[in-house]
């Protein structure tokens, strides 16, 4: 075999360009079959829920007096309820409300959780001790009772429900963020940033946030599923979204009547199925993200 002369245009010391850590995590995410299935379920649901007024003839509160408690048919695909409202339209509108409540409450609790954890870890020993004891206190409150008390103070409706759910779920996140940042604070590259004169905002948002992004994304995803369930639970108890506004929880509330439960299964079965399917799919995505961000997964 002939020995070829080295190609002068290729620098042998050049380093091949590879992808950044976020990009590699996303690649791993898309290799995960369950996560892809989750996306395949969630994306159509999101599309349907956000665009339904454009293609579905009925509104969530349109009453069709000729169709009360009618089984699924060509006109009302998922049937109609006791006052002649279309179950399909209410299901889609309910999805809108449920997802809106879940996404905004998770967004709020993620911000609170990150900031509390960040302040605790970078604020010095005294601040850390005080803040974390308060977090401990918040975590010892029995969640169901706390939820009911908060809900009875805040009242029903979309904004109070968002408030109640977001106030309940940040402590766990703030502990995870604190643990991560305490470790990060001693890392050499953070010490280097301090040595160059970095203040708290720089340390938190240039180093803290990017190095917590995995915790935040995974927490937020899994928490969305949880928040949907919480909203459904609150609405089922009559403390969340009040009728006539639709949500998956208050649609399930109908099943409390044995008449509906036995004779009109389409009125509670579809919102129930939508709830289970969405929560399951979001959990798949959350698990996929967690695996993708796991530093050990690079070794496999």
Partner 1 sequence: MADAPFLAVKNLAKHFAPTAFSRGPVVRALEDISFDIRRGQVVGLVGESGSGKTTIGRSVLRLIEPTSGQINYDGTDITRLGAAQLRRQRRKMQYIFQDPFASLSPRMTIGQILTEGLDIQGIGKKSERRAKAETALAAVELPVDAYDRYAHEFSGGQRQRIGIARALTLEPEFIVADEPVSALDVSIQAQIINLLRDLQLRLGLTMLFISHDLAVVEYICDTVIVLYLGRIMEVAPAAELYARPQHPYTRALLSAIPSLDPLARQDRQVLKGDIPSPANPPSGCVFRTRCPFALEACVGAVPPLRATAEGHLKACIRDDIA
Minimum distance from CB of 118 to partner 1 (Å)?
Answer: 16
Using the minimum distance from each CB to partner 1, give the nearer residue, 42 or 292: 292
- Give CA–CA dist 233/134, Å, rounded: 27
Round to whole Å and give the CA distance between 141 and 149.
11
**Do 91 and 274 meet the contact criterion of CB atoms below 8 Å apart?**
yes
The interface mask with partner 1, positions 4-43, x = CB under 8 A, is -------x-xxxxxx-xxx---------------------
For residue 259, the minimal CB distance to partner 1 (Å) is 58
Helices (H) and strands (E) in the chain, counts: 12, 0
Sign of CA dihedral 183, 186, 189, 191: positive
- Smallest gap from residue 130 Cβ to partner 1 (A): 12
- Residue 210 Cβ vs partner 1, minimum distance, rounded to whole Å: 4
Considering the complex, state which of residue 206 and residue 256 has its C-beta at the smaller distance from partner 1. Answer: 206
Please say which residue, 191 or 277, places its beta carbon nearer to partner 1: 191
Applying the rule CB under 8 A, the residues between 196 and 215 that interact with partner 1 are 196-199, 202, 206-207, 210-211
> Which residues pair with residue 80 across a beta bridge?
86
Closest CB 126 distance from partner 1, rounded Å: 9
85 — phi, psi (to 5°)? -90, 145
Q: Can you tell me the distance from the alpha carbon of 46 to that of 30, in angstroms, rounded to the nearest whole number?
A: 19
H helical segments located in 79-155: 87-122, 125-140, 143-154
| Closest to partner 1 by CB, 136 or 277 | 136
What CA–CA distance (Å, rounded) separates 33 from 284?
9
* Closest distance to partner 1 from the beta carbon of 11 (Å): 7
125 lines the binding site for partner 1 (CB under 8 A): yes
Q: How many residues of this chain bind partner 1 (CB under 8 A)?
A: 28
Which residues of the chain form contacts with partner 1 (CB under 8 A)? 11, 13-18, 20-22, 125, 187-189, 191-199, 202, 206-207, 210-211
């Amino acid at each position: 075999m002939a020995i070829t002369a080295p190609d002068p245009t290729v620098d042998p010391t050049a380093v091949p360009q590879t992808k950044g850590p976020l990009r590699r995590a996303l690649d791993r995410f898309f290799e995960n079959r369950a996560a892809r299935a989750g996306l395949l379920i969630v994306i159509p649901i999101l599309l349907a829920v956000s665009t339904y007024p454009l293609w579905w003839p009925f509104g969530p509160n349109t009453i069709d007096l000729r169709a009360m408690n009618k089984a699924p048919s060509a006109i009302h695909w998922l049937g109609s309820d006791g006052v002649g409202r279309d179950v399909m339209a209410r299901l889609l509108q309910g999805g809108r409300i449920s997802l809106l409540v879940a996404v905004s409450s998770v967004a709020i609790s993620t911000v609170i959780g990150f900031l509390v954890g960040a302040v605790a870890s970078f604020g010095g020993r005294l601040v850390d001790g005080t803040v974390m004891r308060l977090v401990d206190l918040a975590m010892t409150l029995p969640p169901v009772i706390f939820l009911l008390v908060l809900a009875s103070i805040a009242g029903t409706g979309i904004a109070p429900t968002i408030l109640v759910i977001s106030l309940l779920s940040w402590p766990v996140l703030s502990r995870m963020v604190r643990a991560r940042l305490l470790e990060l604070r001693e890392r050499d590259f953070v010490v280097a940033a301090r040595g160059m004169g970095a203040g708290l905002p720089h340390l938190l948002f240039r180093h803290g946030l990017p190095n917590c992004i995995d915790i935040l994304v995974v927490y937020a995803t899994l928490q969305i599923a949880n928040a949907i369930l919480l909203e459904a639970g609150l609405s089922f108890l009559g403390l969340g979204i009040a009728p006539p506004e639709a949500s998956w929880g208050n649609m399930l509330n109908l099943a409390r009547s044995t008449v509906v439960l036995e004779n009109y299964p389409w009125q509670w079965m579809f919102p129930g199925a939508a709830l289970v399917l969405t929560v399951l799919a979001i959990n798949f995505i959350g698990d996929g993200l967690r695996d993708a961000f796991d530093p050990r997964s690079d070794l496999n």
